[in-house]
Structure 1
Amino acid sequence: MPSFFLQFIRHYLLSLQFFTRIPVTGRLADWVGFSPAMLRASAGHFPGVGLLVGSVLALFTAGLLALLPPTDSAPLVAAALGTALGVLLTGAFHEDGLADVADGLGGSADRERALGIMKDSRVGAFGAIAVMLMLLCKVTLLALLGDVSGPLMAAALLVAHVVSRTWPLLTIRWLPHVGDVAGSKSKPLADQISGAALRTGLIWCVLALALTVAVQVTTGFIAINMTDAGLLQALLNALMASLVAWAVMARWFWRRLGGFTGDCLGATQQVCEVAFYLGLGLSL
């Protein structure tokens, strides 16, 4: 196998190891290896990790919808259990970032004080409320999409988990890392990612969108009551809603902190994921 593909696989597995609870251990972990440079390069596979997580959740949700009684409550049950599985797969990594950002920026207008709060492992009122509302938004928006079409709900899960992990790469690329780099869980990402890593992330994003559109065009299965062009427009609207959410978050971090922390990346992923579901729902 060419060295390029071996390096691609190693970087992907390292990203999987860093961003999820999916085990990459033992001899496989030894083969993958580790270095700060490798971990920075693996950030480009963050959307690829989303493709795997989103695919697992999409299959799990579709399976639940097939097994549950065909009632109005079935999409809500599937959305709640699928969201719980997503938290387990990622170890609440991004939800934790959202909580820390909400506590820090909600708890103090002073930059240094806000950064200090964000480093505190305890969860305050702002953080608890933010995570609760975020999970509520996810479940209800997914249930709404499931009411329209079960396959559409599954497709939304797959694409949203990729797209929402693409925009944080722009944050890393264009904003400086702030705070205590040495003690930060985002230390490997403190340096700007390379253009090659950014292109890798964008390729993962385009792949997920192309796969979804191809399945719809080939089978007409995802959105039975929509034309292919209608689904494409809805996906583009959802993509734009997610991009706008990223821009708002990036501007907020720049104004309040002068850059980003690892918690900011997790919070951005959560907000952009929900924005994608909302944009898709508003387009139907």
Structure 2
Amino acid sequence: MTRNRLVEDLFVALRFFSRLPIPAQSGEEAPFGAPPLARIAYVIPLAGAVISLFGAAVLLLASALGFPPFLASCLAIATVVLATGAFHEDGLADTADGFGGGRDRARRLEIMRDSRIGTYGACALALSLLIRIASLEALLVLGGPVRAVIALVAAGAASRAAGIVLLQVLPAARIDGASAGAGQPGADAAMACALMAALVVAVLLVPSFGVGATFAGLIAPALAGFVMARLSARLIGGQTGDVAGATQQVAEIAFLLAVLMFAKAV
């Protein structure tokens, strides 16, 4: 694989998963449509880490300016949400509404397609934001700004891999959905995505948090993805793009909580 190929694929992933102004590249047939997951899956964890870097920069700046940990954490998470255009949060809200409000498979899928937000979705969004902010605040207090930043960036990588693997292990729940149009990444691509995420997590966490935290940071998103896959298979008979987004959110929370258990006061 050439360096140019990696950069090109990373740009494609960043354009899809964020609101960053990434221009179309020459030769792309549908630059603003669903990306070729089989090709770019391996760089999606890197794209997640890059997106989280924006929140990390804000977290460092806010801490340097003397902002309280809670406020600094709020600004950091808000930055990540803005950078993605609430891409994954939208999936979480739709999934929570569908899974919580539907009485059968057809009704759940219908609710998930509805752009309006319901009680389950609102509660899921509020809890996701609060838990991520609280976890980041605790990491700031216990481990300091640098370690909190490292955890945030690693979480961005690990959680994206959980969503991609879910798309591979379950069939599309409907034939006309976004995930069906994008297609499954393929077993090899999903494995490459998981390995890239593991590499990023290991490189970032081992020097700063130790082997125990690294192991926890690898296992927690995998368990979160497993739970989401089982739940989605039972309730809607497969996966959708919304479920993949919800899985990313749950996996990020699981990652931050797992690493937080190993953070010590400095």
CA shift for structure 1 position 187:
4.0
Alignment partner, residue 226 of structure 1: none
| Pair 1:282 & 2:258 matched | no
Alignment partner, residue 141 of structure 2: 147
d(CA) in 2 for partners of 1:126, 1:199: 33
Secondary structure of the 2:160 match is coil
Distance 1:188 1:19, change over 3 A: farther
Alignment partner, residue 178 of structure 2: 185
**Aligned counterpart in structure 2 of residue 236 of structure 1, from 212, 215, 238:** 215
Q: In the alignment, residue 96 of structure 1 is paired with which amino acid?
A: D
Q: In the alignment, residue 13 of structure 2 is paired with which amino acid?
A: S
Secondary structure of the 1:165 match is helix
**Aligned counterpart in structure 2 of residue 39 of structure 1, from 36, 47, 51:** 36
Alignment partner, residue 196 of structure 2: 204
Structure 1's consecutive aligned runs of 4 or more residues displaced over 4 angstroms after TM superposition are 35-38
Alignment partner, residue 245 of structure 1: 224
CA shift for structure 1 position 32:
5.9
Q: In the alignment, residue 60 of structure 1 is paired with which amino acid?
A: V
Percentage of pairs with the same residue: 34
d(CA) in 1 for partners of 2:205, 2:118: 42
Structure 1 contact 11–39 (Cα < 8 Å) conserved = no
Counting only pairs closer than 5 Å after superposition, residues 1-284 of structure 1 correspond to structure 2 as: 4-25=2-23, 29-31=24-26, 33-34=28-29, 39-40=36-37, 41-68=39-66, 74-149=68-143, 150-179=145-174, 181-182=175-176, 184-189=177-182, 191-213=183-205, 216=207, 222=208, 231-284=210-263
CA shift for structure 1 position 121:
0.6
d(CA) in 2 for partners of 1:130, 1:32: 40
CA shift for structure 1 position 188:
4.0
After superposition, give the CA deviation of every residue in 1:61-87 in whole Å (9 maximum; x if it has no partner): 122211215xxxx21111100000001
Q: What TM-score comes out, normalization by structure 2 length?
A: 0.90
CA shift for structure 1 position 267:
0.1
Structure 2 contact 163–248 (Cα < 8 Å) conserved = yes
Which one is further off, 139-148 or 10-19?
A: 10-19
Distance 1:141 1:38, change over 3 A: closer
d(CA) in 1 for partners of 2:53, 2:187: 27
CA shift for structure 1 position 14:
1.2
CA shift for structure 1 position 38:
5.8
- Which 5+ residue runs of structure 2 have no aligned equivalent? none
Q: What TM-score comes out, normalization by structure 1 length?
A: 0.84
CA shift for structure 1 position 213:
4.1
Distance 1:37 1:261, change over 3 A: closer
Structure 1 contact 243–272 (Cα < 8 Å) conserved = yes
Q: In the alignment, residue 178 of structure 2 is paired with which amino acid?
A: K
Secondary structure of the 1:31 match is coil
Secondary structure of the 2:3 match is helix
Larger Rg: 1
